[in-house]
Structure 1
Amino acid sequence: MRHWPETPAQRVTRNSRGHGGTGLGAERPFSLAMFADEALAAVQAPRFVAAGISMGAAIALRLACLHPARVAGLVLIRPAWGFDPAPANMAPVRDIAGLLRRMPPAKARATFAASALGQRLARDAPDNLASLLAYCDRPDAAEFATVLADIAADGPGITPRDAAALRLPCLILANDGDMIHPLATAGQLAAAIPGARLAEVPPKSTAPEAHLAAIRTALAAFLSSVAKAQP
């Protein structure tokens, strides 16, 4: 994980179904609740910092709200979900999933890239476009489209009231120029979680190395502060 800093903290990574070589399994539909349950089952430590990027941020938020006795800190990096299911910013993911379900991957890629949305992404959020088009290059693109469609239509199952009840250190990192992970979504979460600190980092699309460096620095400082606060 390139975002992970040099730190004595132990990291446990759970790749959700269809991600990082993890199989799709038989259970349907895919959901953030399913992924959160599987992530929690992978953690042996009695207390831990829940951290995630994009979809992982929604999973981490769900874990913090539903399992407060186990989650000692929360890190949300480029969150794509606030509290509502099927947020508007996930429309590009739903679109590419729909194309992959209807046509061969190469045609889906070309069709999306040529669409008005694809052209807008190319202009305003090229990093988002590259990620979306990469879905078409997967050997299991048609099958993975079901994951994309299900998750993009889902939500974390958490309300603003749930977030307001959190009593833990929380760091939220986001950047401008990202249509799928809007800075406004990070702001919404920061406003809902008591004491949350929102830090803006350099855009991933225009300054990738500075983006990663800023995340590593912020994450290292946060993990150190959480460790010092533990009894």
Structure 2
Amino acid sequence: ALRLACRHPRRVAALVLVRPAWTFSPAPQNMRPITEAAELILEHGADKGRTIFARSDTATRLYREAPDNLASLLGYFDRPDAKGFAQVLADIASDGPGVCDSDVAALDIPALVVGNPMDAVHPLSSAYTLAAAMPHAVFAEITPKARNSARHFIELHEQISSFLQSNSNARSLIPS
């Protein structure tokens, strides 16, 4: 979404970024757990890879700091297409937004950037960084899904609804 807005700003009336994982560089450190899971699936298969990952320092850290991320990562090992999906995961984790800070600073559209703590893969610092880089961005911190999933989704819905309502007159939200 960010790349589209930077490359084709006349086609984007507003931008909503929820729990961004990247700022400006590819393969940030926060994507390392995804890379690790993908490599284990590709090298050892889903069952053995899951066992290795579950005993890893990464899993231990995520259990303490971001249990929702750990649950998602462990779910990757349980997919019926785990091996094929592992390559997609590796590609995603090594990718980036394809924009630089000056591209983002030049955006002249309203933006909402939503983040939450307790998320090691989508760090709150990435949301802060992107919101600060965009001249017309609003930052919203919401309840972590790991702490209260229902509250997380209620707050997310409220933030997006409010943003869209308050910016519907800024420019038509229907691209021309």
Return the TM-score normalized by structure 2. Answer: 0.95
* Match status 1:196 vs 2:137: yes
- Give the secondary structure class of the aligned counterpart of 1:228: coil
Which amino acid is the alignment partner of residue 88 of structure 1?
Answer: Q
Aligned counterparts of 2:128 and 2:11: Cα–Cα separation in 1: 25
1:88-167 aligned within 5 A = 88-167=29-108
User: Does the CA-based 8 Å contact 1:122-1:129 persist in structure 2?
Assistant: yes
1:24-66 CA deviation, whole Å, 9 max, x = no partner? xxxxxxxxxxxxxxxxxxxxxxxxxxxxxxxxxxxx1111111
Deviation (angstroms), 1:174: 0.5
Are 2:21 and 1:80 equivalent residues in the alignment? yes
If asked which structure has higher relative contact order (CA below 8 Å, sep 6+), I would say 2
The amino acid of 2:98's aligned partner reads G
Offset at residue 107 of structure 1 (A)? 1.1
Matched residue, 1:187: 128
- Which secondary structure state, in structure 2, belongs to the residue aligned with residue 166 of structure 1? coil
The separation in 2 between residues aligned to 1:199 and 1:190, in whole angstroms, is 9
In the TM superposition, residue 106 of structure 1 has moved relative to its aligned partner by 1.2
SS at match of 1:172: strand
Higher helix share: 2
Tell me the C-alpha RMSD between the 2 structures.
0.9
1:69 equivalent in structure 2:
10
Q: Structure 1: state its 5+ residue gaps.
A: 1-59
Deviation at 1:124, TM superposition (A): 1.2
The alignment partner of 1:72 has SS state of coil
Identity rate, percent: 52
Q: Which amino acid aligns with 1:183?
A: L
Distance 2:171 2:128 in 1: 27
